[in-house]
Structure 1
Amino acid sequence: MEERKAWSISGILGIGLIVVFLAIGAFCIFQSQLILGIVLIIMAVVLISGITIVQPNQSVVVIFLGKYMGTVRQEGILITVPFSVRRTISLRVRNFNSNRLKVNDVNGNPIEIAAVVVFKVVDAAKAVFDVDQYEQFVEIQSETAIRAVATTYPYDSFTNDELTLRGNADEVSDELTTELQERLKVAGVEVIEARLTHLAYSTEIAQAMLQRQQASAIISAREQIVQGAVGMAQDAIARLETDNIVELDDERRVALINNLLVAIVSDQGTQPVINTGSLYQ
């Protein structure tokens, strides 16, 4: 089903014709010209049955004897196909807030997720004839797409080599928008934006996952600190030896590296021990 333009004329012109037909018809009946008068009155009634009003950013789908006659998008008062069924479809931008859904992420962790979908109808014929109750169709397909996207990503990760639901909101939103558009194009709906509004672990595992996150964060931070400390120790020893500030044998080099690593990696500030020589020297 493809949308096409329905026949229509200006409402002002139509109302003018209705008034003329009624006036001439009444005059003819008064002059005993019954047949002509009745015909003119019937024509006026036919035009009256086609009067329709279209609000801004709305469209009217015209159906006559079960056949799609077209869509009227011109705003204002118009006269279209007489004795037709007319269904108004809003073309305005709308929001749909999904319920909080419980799903499992790619690692099998139960999470709660919700999203807001911004959409509008761009093809009124598809919205009316290709799906049953397109608004309900949008809601169901939106929740289905949210579930599908949520199961392809982990909730969180402390590495930079994978996308996550919490750390890559823009990428996840783009994929959700694409997924929704593919599902909703059959209903003549354009998805403007889809974005997550709620994301959390399910209550039954929230405390355990928080502890896991904290442990993973500590391990990740420790790895980065150790890597930095090793590099700093290497740079310090290399500079001391290059500038001939001090000559270090293997034993003193190991001791210096040990002291530097302890000072850098330690959680608390280290206290230096100053060697001033032996008491009995």
Structure 2
Amino acid sequence: MNTEKIINPPSGYLTLVAFLILLAATVFCGVFKMPGMAVILGLINFVLVLPGLIIVNPNEAKVLTLFGKYVGTVKEDGFFWVNPFTAKKKVSLKAYNLNGQQLKVNDAVGNPIEIAAVIVWQIKNTASAIFAVENYLQYVNIQSEAAVRHLANTFPYDNIEDETASITLRGGAEQVSVMLEKELNERLERAGIEVLEARISHLAYAPEIAHTMLQRQQASAIISARRLIVEGAVGMVEMALNKLSEKDIVELDEERKAAMVSNLLVVLCGDRSVNPIVNTGTLYH
């Protein structure tokens, strides 16, 4: 990785004053018919003085190279004068916002899903950004897509297919975002780029299985709800039998207990209202 070298060139205001003085002298020589001196002063002014003046705006940098050799980077904003023969490359230090496109990939258990991420990044090492990769903007786009694909292949969409999974794409959003940010920083370090934030912006099953998976999720939710209802109903029946026995309200034999348990479970576990029936006889007639 290229090492960034920060330089602080002299102020450009004194050089600007010198440029104006030389310009006035050039005009003076031209007026008083001293063409040789006018040409020399003009060459000095427009070849050595003026091309060295640079303006660096806030959150920008200028990367300087001299005959193919890296000279340094000017990161301080202001008006400066540098070697006029250096090539000057402007680099923005502002934060970039990458809204990744939706990718169709398979999760850890093979289900096709759609996933996209939003990534906030900025350049930290200008030398690496310019010299280590051909085009750092394209590099960020391609590596970000690769990282998101790898993340989607690593974890299942949810726990329906893999009940033992500790992290899922849908349920572990915070953990997934941390892992994505870490992987992106590792991938983009070569280009001198730091990822400030990475979040999953879109996550869904692919259209061809979305309806089927929705039905499966609904069935799973119904089964879980029924399991909870049955557990609660059994507890309530047990409590009712214990209370009747403790307070000696009525003495129930095994057949009466079985009938009571059956009736209570029907009432408590049914998914619609129950119409009571008044028994005027006995259980045995």
TM-score (norm 1): 0.87
Give 2:244's aligned residue. Answer: 240
CA contact (8 A) 1:112 1:201 kept: yes
Measured against aligned partners, the alpha-carbon deviations of 1:47-81 in whole angstroms (never above 9, x if no partner) come to: 32211111211111111111111111111221122
2:278 corresponds, among 264, 274, 278, to 274
Give 2:156's aligned residue. Answer: 154
Letter in 2 for 1:134: Y
Letter in 2 for 1:188: G
- Over 3 Å counting, the alpha-carbon distance change for 1:166 and 1:123 in structure 2 is same
Letter in 2 for 1:128: I
1:206 corresponds, among 210, 231, 244, to 210
- Over 3 Å counting, the alpha-carbon distance change for 1:236 and 1:3 in structure 2 is farther
CA contact (8 A) 1:115 1:195 kept: yes
Unaligned 5+ segments in structure 1 are none
Q: Which moved more, 1:211-220 or 1:120-129?
A: 211-220
- Over 3 Å counting, the alpha-carbon distance change for 1:164 and 1:35 in structure 2 is same
Give 2:230's aligned residue. Answer: 226
| Cα separation, 2, equivalents of 1:16 and 1:245 | 110
| Cα separation, 2, equivalents of 1:147 and 1:48 | 50
1:255 corresponds, among 256, 259, 283, to 259
| Cα separation, 1, equivalents of 2:43 and 2:88 | 23
CA-CA distance at 1:43 after TM superposition: 6.5
Aligned residue pairs total 279
Structure 2 residue 176 is the aligned partner of structure 1 residue 172: yes
Give 2:7's aligned residue. Answer: 6
1:111-130 alignment, distance < 5 Å: 111-130=113-132
- Over 3 Å counting, the alpha-carbon distance change for 1:121 and 1:251 in structure 2 is same
- Over 3 Å counting, the alpha-carbon distance change for 1:255 and 1:78 in structure 2 is same
| Cα separation, 2, equivalents of 1:230 and 1:61 | 75
Give 1:88's aligned residue. Answer: 90
- Over 3 Å counting, the alpha-carbon distance change for 1:23 and 1:137 in structure 2 is same
TM-score (norm 2): 0.86
CA-CA distance at 1:40 after TM superposition: 9.2
Letter in 2 for 1:143: E
